[in-house]
Amino acid sequence: MALLTILHYPDERLHKVARPVGAVDERIRQLIDDMAETMYECSGIGLAATQVNVHERVVVIDVSEEKSALTAFVNPEILERRGDTVYEEGCLSVPGIYDKVHRSEWVRVRALDRNGEPFEIETDGLLAICIQHEIDHLDGKVFVDYLSQLKQSRIKAKMKKREKHTL
């Protein structure tokens, strides 16, 4: 397994729409393993392939306290949404920034697992929020895109300044 480099906002590659995975093969399983290792190392609860500059529809999520419930979603699609909720979100691609985002409270999702087997889940709470957040990444959207133009500008400036100081 390998740690992958996470792209940071406002990197334009974060806005690239991911293409569907044709077949879940050893390469995709290795990507899932590397993404999971990267997510855990960064203390995240979700990571989309887009965030590691792989523009294929792959997501890993683990919202468990013990970090023992890893789920891989290949070619995920939201089939149904219900309700509205507001949740303060953060993102490994926008480190140190948190803000409230409106999301659906409940979702029904279809995807392939790490073996290419189809599955569906219905969920609410943090898992539903995380699934929506990560699928947004696959669609070229970062949670910051839901915020006002003023907030987006401030976050861009802050991230660019932080990047200059780390180089």
CA gap 146, 103 in Å, rounded: 10
DSSP codes, 96-161: EEEEEEEE-SEEEEEEE-TTS-EEEEEEEHHHHHHHHHHHHHHTT--GGGGS-HHHHHHHHHHHHH
Q: Is residue 134 annotated as part of the catalytic site, yes or no?
A: yes
Q: What pLDDT was estimated at residue 1?
A: 73
Residue 28 half-sphere exposure, CB side, CA atoms within 13 Å?
A: 21
- The one catalytic residue in 80, 105, 120, 134 is 134
Grouped pLDDT means (10 residues each) for the chain, 167 residues: 94 98 98 98 97 98 96 98 97 97 98 98 98 98 96 93 76
| DSSP-assigned letters across all residues of 30-75 | HHHHHHHHHHHHTT-SEEEGGGGT--BSEEEE---TTS---EEEEE
**Which domains are seen in the chain, by residue range?**
12-164 (3.90.45.10)
Give residue 97's pLDDT.
96
Q: What is the pLDDT of residue 167?
A: 61
Pairwise CA distance, residues 13 & 11, whole Å: 5
133 is annotated as contributing to ligand binding = yes
pLDDT value at position 162? 84
Residue-level pLDDT at 44: 97
